[in-house]
Structure 1
């Protein structure tokens, strides 16, 4: 089963225009993500899917592969499907790697690829990590202040997701007791026909309420397998605004580069 990793990279971010081209510790963010995805075990091909020639040319100049996609794509899921079609790719598994996640370890991407390859019945898969108690407490405090950063997931005994939320779930009637909490990592593996099906569906009520695309799948009965992973002591941080890029630089300075 061949695996295509697609990195959607849109130029016109509202909070951070030109975000994919922002330099982080001397290297463009989109280049960092491309290099990480290319190093992921089990990934056969990596392409950046963009709507802007500046990103296309920058990726190609850095030695990566990029493809222009339709400006009308409303989200990364649609852009991943458009890229697959324009490439005329015959990949059976498509992994959507967020272009604003320059600290995602390659083994996390590889874990999703491995899970999809190992079980042909899986339609979708996505990773999650356990939330340490102190991190969970900090996240709950931030959510109480109205923060939308960070997503959690609950899953059944078969490891299929039951719900994703911008709140911290499950709710704890007694602090410190009960089932553990898991943070969702915004990375998705799709069977190609599942990706086509998902894009053809209309947005759903919970998806619109939480602003989480993956809920469209659950609301339409498409199961999502949760793949538990480990950052192996590395920090996770996505880039939504310029100050996040500074934070990522600080993490790299402290922890070192993910790739040599």
Structure 2
């Protein structure tokens, strides 16, 4: 039975990033030579999703709030106690007068997220009321896999990989490249985890009541809290359609992302 479901997109953003302070306000130059902040580009990516009923920026920092409101975004202020984006989403959904059926968490450092990634995710949630938490994964092409392996070899924390069962249920997520890649000339299939999540509001309520997990803390990956508490996370394999997906995790990623913006003609 199809469940249409009202869907909202939240974009959590914080200024005090341990690895890259001030990251949401870092400017990225697009194909036309115009520079826009990371948070603005992430907001524009969210606004391009046709299934989204509303889009909000979530933050605890007035600098980000002011920047977001200046380019027209609706902002929900969350507490400084929120340790990650999912906790921030749990706080924000409680502030909405009209509760959505589906909450999408589009990370504020993922401006290259294509609209169809999020559309596919919302589609899975609308098609099955049994799916409580879902996230997209992308089969790595040679270029992305090389970036992941290079980052780890050079001691940088880059993208995240996902390991899943044959039915798409997540087994584990890691900042390491999993499964092990010994030879880039003949690598195993590696799935790059895309920094987007969708949840039922009840899943967010449960998440907010759990303590931070051991694996979550070790990896710095919020979605592991669901797995550690026995909640299934559905991985939705999406198609890249030739688009290189990369998040802004480190200063070196600015050039990588700008290269894709120019290649794709994204202003």
| TM-score clears 0.5 | yes
Map residues 178-257 of structure 1 onto 2, 5 A cutoff: 180-257=189-266
Structure 2 portions without partners, runs of 5+: 30-34
C-alpha deviation, 1:246, in angstroms = 3.6
SS at match of 1:86: coil
TM-score for the superposition, normalised by structure 2: 0.88
CA-to-aligned-CA distance 1:167-191 (integer Å, 9 cap, x gap): 2222368887796221111111011
**Structure 2 partner of 1:12:** 16
Aligned match of 1:92 in 77, 85, 101?
101
Structure 1 portions without partners, runs of 5+: none
Distance 1:189 1:247, change over 3 A: same
Contact 1:152–1:169 (Cα < 8 Å) also in 2: yes
TM-score for the superposition, normalised by structure 1: 0.90
SS at match of 2:204: helix
Structure 1 residue 45 corresponds to structure 2 residue 54: yes
Q: Distance in 1 between matches of 2:199 and 2:173?
A: 17
Contact 2:159–2:247 (Cα < 8 Å) also in 1: no
**Structure 2 partner of 1:101:** 110
**Structure 1 partner of 2:171:** 162
Q: Distance in 1 between matches of 2:10 and 2:254?
A: 22
Contact 1:133–1:176 (Cα < 8 Å) also in 2: no
Question: Which deviates the most, 144-153 or 66-75?
Answer: 144-153
CA-to-aligned-CA distance 1:89-145 (integer Å, 9 cap, x gap): 410111111001111111111111111111110010000111235643553454344
Q: Distance in 1 between matches of 2:255 and 2:149?
A: 24
Question: Which deviates the most, 120-129 or 101-110?
Answer: 101-110
The alignment covers a number of residue pairs equal to: 258
Distance 1:193 1:24, change over 3 A: same
Q: Distance in 2 between matches of 1:135 and 1:62?
A: 31
